[in-house]
Amino acid sequence: MRPLFSFATPLVLALALAAAPALAAGASLADATPEQVAAARGPYVEAKKAFDAGDYAAAQEGFAASYAIVASPNSHLMMAKALEKLERFADAYREAKAVLPEAEAAVAVDEKYARTADDARALVEDMRRRVGYLTVRLPYGETGAVTVAGRRLAAEELDEPILVDPGPVTVSFDGPRGVESRTMTLGKGGTGLIDFGKREDAPPTPSPIE
């Protein structure tokens, strides 16, 4: 099993991770105390056992619990791998992409994280081929809450296609005129546009490989 943490000096590790984005997670590798490292290792080990046994839901929860104590790139990567096994491809993509800056920063203090970065990069590319791409447009001049497949989007996410799992996808827009919902079915690599400024949406475009 890949080691969870390395024990570089806090000053060096802090400098290496300074450029990494802040995450809603546990203590950083630079700031984690020995007690936190020990506490994070327990759920990580149990999650790895669950992963190897094929219980990917329990594994994902365990890796997330470990990551909530200490934000290790390795536990974060294993969260993404468990999501991929659960066929939550869009979530796996988002988590694997978030691993990259963590792991790339950590390489400066321990080269073992180069493998973590490589694995995360490969998972990102694999997930790109296994998701659909949905663009959501709002009526001109209107703003409101947009939810895609049960996940509320940040406003900036509307600036580019949203990665979704293949199959039916429901999009809701809670705007000035109330809540409007539409559903579109996308295949792997397919693209679609839901435009709340129009009464009907064009059919999705299938992937070139379909």
The mean pLDDT value for 193-202 works out to 87
Same domain, 112 and 19: yes
**Does the structure show a pLDDT above 70 at 9?**
no
Residue 122 and residue 81 share a domain:
yes
Residue 57 near residue 79, CB atoms below 8 Å: no
For 26, the 3-state DSSP assignment is coil
Pairing mode, strands 191-195 and 132-137? parallel
Q: Angle at CA 62, nearest 5°, toward 57 and 68?
A: 130
Hey, what amino acid is at 127?
M
Enclosing domain of residue 187: 132-195
Which of helix, strand or coil describes residue 100? helix
Percentage above 90 pLDDT, the chain: 71
Residue 200 lies in a domain: no
Residue 121 shares a structural domain with residue 143 = no
How does pLDDT run across 126-137, given as a tens digit for each residue? 999 999 999 999
Residues 15 and 112 in one domain: yes
Residue 72, domain CATH: 1.25.40.10
**Based on the domain organization, do 122 and 136 belong to the same domain?**
no
Token pair belonging to 16: 């290496």
pLDDT surpasses 80 at 157: yes
Residues 122 and 177 reside in one and the same domain: no
CA distance 137 to 199: 12
Total count of domains within the chain: 2
Domain assignment present for 40: yes
CA dihedral 153, 156, 159, 161 (to 10 degrees): -40
**In the predicted model, what is the mean pLDDT of residues 102-130?**
91
Q: Is the confidence at residue 96, as pLDDT, over 90?
A: yes
Pairing between strand 162-164 and 132-137? antiparallel
pTM: 0.79
Q: What is the pLDDT of residue 1?
A: 45
